[in-house]
Structure 1
Amino acid sequence: MTKKKFMTLIMLIALAAVVLTACSGGGNKKEDSSANATKTEEGAKTEEGNKATGDIKAEGLMETKGGFMSVATGGTGGTYYPLGGALSNILNNAGVNYTATAQATGASVENVELITKGDAEIAFIQNDVAYYAANGTDTFKGNQKSSLRGLCCLYPEFVQIAASDDSGIETIEDLKGKKVAVGAPGSGVEVNVKQILEIHGITYDDLGKVDFLSFAEAADQIKSGQIDAAFITAAIPSSAFTELATTHNIHLVPIAEDKAAELIKKYPFYVNLHVTPTEYKGQDKELSLVAVQSMLAVDEKMADEDAYNIVKLLFENLDTMKESHARGGDIALDKALDGMSIEVHPGAQKYFDEVKK
């Protein structure tokens, strides 16, 4: 063997030794370290969960197999997401083998699809969107979701009309001839606008100008005087409204009680509420407004035991919901079926029948 070949062989043997060492002891140490970190993290989560269990009221639940519960909410910056996180926490610590997690989504319309396709078990949905889905109308025309079922209603989302003080708009009838923003085309807000105008005998042709704008865009145009009023469907207080009210003189336009009753008769998902929105600058009078409701929905395939347990756990742990978001404080058992726009899941109905006795 030549000296050159001998040196080449030595180098190959040395390289092989390095490779074998890397594939044995060193790799296992790294893997063990990762595994220990994972176990430590899981242990911390378990300990935290055990501490939380004592704060969750979970007596009198129905026996269930438990299982995974994906809770479809909305954007992470919205109201649905933190409330969904609170509901997941309640379910996870109820001691009945639920594994729940809040899923950020595009909200109501997307959530209907997730529920009916089996990609989520529980969903936050506006009750008007649920109505359209269950009946195959408006947004869901030709795409009926007949398996959608309601668990309960949560809190009102008011149809608010912000009008400039300089516009002369004091009633909905005063919108005639005015420049009005009606939401994005085909949005839930625009559907609300059309329904309210219809009850008042008003069409888009009666308005001076119709702008399809988000509320942020509409707020800018109210400030610049390009429009007179804008519709928004949201909980009170709405951050978009409060921000506009701090920089511009605006007010809320009410809906007369008789017109509200007429609207509810035709579209039963609305409710008529009287509010004094003191969170908005200059709003110190009680107003008659209409609202749709946020609600929880599931598919008809959900076991009765699970639907029963979910609503029972929700309404017996409202403090947890309230701590997660201000709107959680608006959830109340005596209003759980107000504005329910679709068939109630029989498991949920069993709970409501029990508490009435």
Structure 2
Amino acid sequence: MKHKRRFLPIVLFLGLALVLGACGGEEAGSGSDNNDTDFISVLTGGTEGTYYPLGGSFAKIINTHVDKVEATATSTGASVENMNKLKDGKDDLIAFTQTDIASYAVDGKQMFEGKPIDSIRAIGALYPETIQIVATAKSGIRTVEDLAGKKVSVGAPGAGTYASAEDILALYGMSMDDIDAQNLDFGESTSGMQDGTIDAAIITAGTPTGAVESLAASTDISIVSLDENKIAELKEELPYYSEFTIPKGTYGLKGDVKTVAVQSMLVTTEGMDKDLVYNITKAIFEHTDAIGHQKKEDISADTALNGVGIELHPGAKKYFDEKGIKK
């Protein structure tokens, strides 16, 4: 009888181990048809930019409208860093990026030279990312050429802003060597202008940008306009740029500012489950009214394929095909 009592706990332990092993056989994020929750990270940008609050809204929409999914927005260094995170091959990530940076990553160009990340797939474009050359009034900066020799923030390391800054400087026959370049995120950039440690910042983000709004509330600023002929030249050379006008009144501006923009977009990896991506795409584009940011006015399924230069994820393609939306 004593032997039987010793044996019973061993049998129970082995049975429990088998049950736990079976439950652990499927990983969250696999899109499997079990009772597990899929945990999704939404890679955004700095907390003072546009990606981060939008990512929080998207996470709430996904959690509300997609069964068995728990999404969380994560602050990152934005576009370039996000593409490199997708390179790791995890299939539980959605990322914000610029359309130009996504194309560079897939094609192995620019900052991804010789190191293509060909597993990236598009979910859809969101809104224009405006190139904003923000300067303090006291800096005396009124034109792109005035940036020469000045302390200018060109974006945090790993952010798409750096690539945009290079393009704009090159358009005027300049390079990073002509300015005192500072690698700062949006919040650091505007704080630096406020306390006088930097003169200007090139910021690529949806307008209005929270960090710039906060700066304008306490400091006299200007936004540098680009010349019409230079805008035309840039669009011809790099077609993912489009002309954009920052309207009078934004940041207290007394007149319209002519500049350019790329598109922001959402991407994921080719390995994310097709049905999961379909449900996420549908949830976001059919509940834009729940987005807690001004940019919701620009986000629509009808324009979600504009400027998308990389392959769509099959789940996203299924959604847009159903809606009759083509590139």
TM bucket (normalised to shorter chain) is 0.7 to 0.9
Deviations 1:3-51 (A, max 9, x none): xxxxxxxxxxxxxxxxxxxxxxxxxxxxxxxxxxxxxxxxxxxxxxxxx
Partner residue, 2:106: 134
Q: Distance in 2 between matches of 1:277 and 1:142?
A: 43
* Aligned partner of residue 40 in structure 2, secondary structure: strand
SS at match of 2:104: helix
Task: From the superposition, tell whether residues 267 and 81 of structure 1 become closer, same or farther in structure 2 (CA, over 3 Å).
Answer: same
- Correspondence 1:115 to 2:83: no
What do residues 238-292 of structure 1 show as CA deviations (whole Å, max 9, x unaligned)? 23322332333221012234423432343344332222152412x0322222223
- Deviation for aligned residue 1:114: 4.1
For residues 13-28 of structure 1, what are the structure 2 equivalents within 5 Å? none
Aligned positions of 1:293-308 closer than 5 A: 293-308=263-278
In the other structure, the counterpart of 2:22 is none
Once the two structures are TM-superposed, the CA of residue 70 in structure 1 deviates from its matched residue by 0.7
- Structure 1 residues 147-156 or 238-247, which shifts more? 238-247
Query: Is residue 210 of structure 2 the alignment partner of residue 239 of structure 1?
Result: yes
How do residues 74-89 of structure 1 correspond to structure 2 at under 5 angstroms? 74=44, 77=47, 79-89=50-60
CA contact (8 A) 1:306 1:347 kept: yes
Contact between 2:243 and 2:261, CA under 8 Å: does it hold in 1? yes
Residue ranges of structure 2 left out of the alignment (5+ in a row): 1-31
- In 2, the alpha carbon distance for the partners of 1:89 and 1:225 equals 38
Structure ranking higher in helix proportion: 1
What is the deviation of 1:212? Answer: 1.4
Query: For the aligned residues, what is the CA RMSD?
Result: 3.3
**Which deviates the most, 185-194 or 291-300?**
185-194
Given that 1:276 and 1:284 are in contact with CA atoms closer than 8 Å, whether structure 2 keeps it comes out as no
**Identical positions, percent:** 40
> What is the aligned length?
289
8 A Cα contact 1:148 1:300, kept in partner: yes
Give the Å deviation of 1:149: 0.8
Whether the 8 Å contact between 1:114 and 1:120 is mirrored in structure 2 is no
Question: Would you say 1:192 and 2:160 are equivalent positions?
Answer: no
Unpaired segments ≥5 residues, structure 1: 1-63
Alignment correspondent of 1:332: 300
Measured in 1, the distance between the counterparts of 2:63 and 2:153 equals 43
Per the alignment, do residues 341 and 263 of structure 1 end up closer, same or farther by CA in structure 2, a change over 3 Å counting? farther
Q: Is the 8 A contact 2:82 2:95 kept in 1?
A: yes
1:124 aligned to 84, 89, 96, which one?
96
Alpha-carbon distance in 1 for matches of 2:172, 2:272: 41
Equivalences for 1:1-357 in 2 at 5 Å?
Answer: 65=33, 68-74=38-44, 77=47, 79-94=50-65, 97-106=67-76, 107-116=78-87, 117-176=89-148, 178-184=150-156, 187-205=159-177, 207=178, 209-214=179-184, 215-216=186-187, 218-219=189-190, 222=193, 228-276=199-247, 278-281=249-252, 283-320=253-290, 322=291, 324-356=292-324
Please identify the structure whose Cα radius of gyration is greater.
1
Distance of aligned partners of 1:287 and 1:160 in 2 relative to their CA distance in 1, 3 Å threshold: same
Separation in 2, partners of 1:227, 1:185: 17
Asked whether the equivalents of residues 315 and 333 of structure 1 are also in contact (C-alpha less than 8 Å), the reply is yes
Maintained 8 Å contact 1:268/1:341? no
